[in-house]
Amino acid sequence: MPKTKKTPGEVLQSYIEEYQINAFLLSKSLKVAYQSVTNIIKGKARISVQMALRLGQFFGNSAKFWLDIQISSEIDELSSNKKFINEVKSIPKADKTAGKAKKAKPGKTKTKTLAEKRKKAAKAPGAKKTRGRKAKK
């Protein structure tokens, strides 16, 4: 699969060039270690939420902009991993009806509530009256 989208590091590098600064000045402005910025540029580190907030503030865009680039890059990378894609494809789809109770058939009565069952049991011949408490033995 040909790589068409830019990585977060490539986008960051293009911003650095556009604003005519360098990684050192950017790291000082963002109040982060120089290595943090260079690792992103080299593709050795991801853009974290904290870094996205800092970059968004500095460049006048949003943290979401930077995180979308990061996530898109990760999806593209995993999408080219055939072993992972085969594993994902083997996961069954959820069945929305699997967890629902079966509908009552016409002519049949619905399931009685716990309160209705207790009331019926209390009316049965030989039933002890408990008034909501356990019967004494």
- Any domain includes 18: yes
| pTM of this prediction exceeds 0.75 | no
State how far the Cα of 82 lies from the Cα of 91, in Å rounded to an integer: 15
pLDDT tens for 70-126 read 999 999 999 999 999 999 999 999 988 876 665 555 655 556 677 777 777 777 776
CATH code where residue 74 lies: 1.10.260.40
- Any domain includes 113: no
- Any domain includes 132: no
Higher pLDDT among residues 132 and 67, named by residue = 67
* SS3 readout for 71-132: HHHHHHHHHCCHHHHHHHHCCCCCCCCCCCCCCCCCCCCCCCCHHHHHHHHHHCCCCCCCCC
Residue 36 structural domain: 8-80
Q: How many domains does the chain have?
A: 1
- Any domain includes 114: no
- Any domain includes 61: yes
Which pLDDT score, from 0 to 100, does residue 106 have? 61
- Any domain includes 89: no
- Any domain includes 98: no
- Any domain includes 121: no
